[in-house]
Amino acid sequence: MFKNYIILTILLMTALSQSGCSIDKSLTFEIPKKGLEVVQHVPADAEGRDKNALYLTPRRITESEFNTPELSTFIDTMNAVMLREEGVGIAANQLGKRLQIFIIEAMDDNPRYKVLGTVTNQVFINPVITKVSENRKNFWHGCLSANGEDRGNVATFEWLEYECKNQKGEIQRGRLDGFGAVIFQHEYRHLMNGTYLDHAKHLLPKSELDEKLKSGELPFFELANDTLPLLIEGFQLGKNLEDY
């Protein structure tokens, strides 16, 4: 009888190991040995989009995960990748992790965005947008997840108010305007699923765009009308991301 029990246990464990019940590492803070790499955009009609972290709903960070070494290490790694890639923001799902975390920061010496001013480093966990401006501004977006792609013109709210948590699990409330508001909405779009390429209707290669912006032929960070696509189309005031 005991022998039969052992055999049954072994068979059950084998079946479970082959049934796909393993932990989904995209939902954990685990960092692969090769490090975190930036996930790239997949067009809407392309194969593999439904398996790309950029298009899968990220989960909330739970109370037990705040103020832990694992969370701290993960955020430090996000910061390191953002600096390495010369970005001004990064979201967890850009790194293959379906977690409601993003960071924004624009330093004076960033070669890509010198003209737009400094934005201090801020970490947003489980972010919620609580209020937005009536006015919107246009902005030509690029993205670490859109290497080699054209820049796209979309609208973002001139300012917004938010609520989120910090690494300790403390509630943070604040307001962002200017470039900080643009970066916040860019990263929030990632957590809503997708990139600016899913929304922009007017796209230009960076070299051509730079020439037209320099000559004044195209507007840059000016008030936008309602015909310009909103980057965070579909967002809901006061709602958690998983409620969309």
Q: What are the catalytic residues?
A: 187
Per DSSP, the chain holds a count of helices (H) and strands (E) of 4, 9
Task: Dig out the tokens for 47 from the structure.
Answer: 């194969």
Rounded to an integer, what is the distance from CA 55 to the centroid of its chain? 11
DSSP class of residue 115?
A: G
Interacting residues of 175 by C-beta distance below 8 A, sequence separation 6+ = 159, 160, 161, 162
**Torsion angle, alpha carbons of 219, 224, 227, 230, to 10:** 110
H/E element, 206: helix 206-215
Please report where in the chains the tokens 């070669």 appear, as a residue: 111
Bridge partners, 136 (sequence order): 157, 224
212 class by beta-carbon count within 10 Å (0-12 exposed, 13-18 middle, 19+ buried): middle
Residue type, 160: L
Please report where in the chains the tokens 């040995």 appear, as a residue: 33
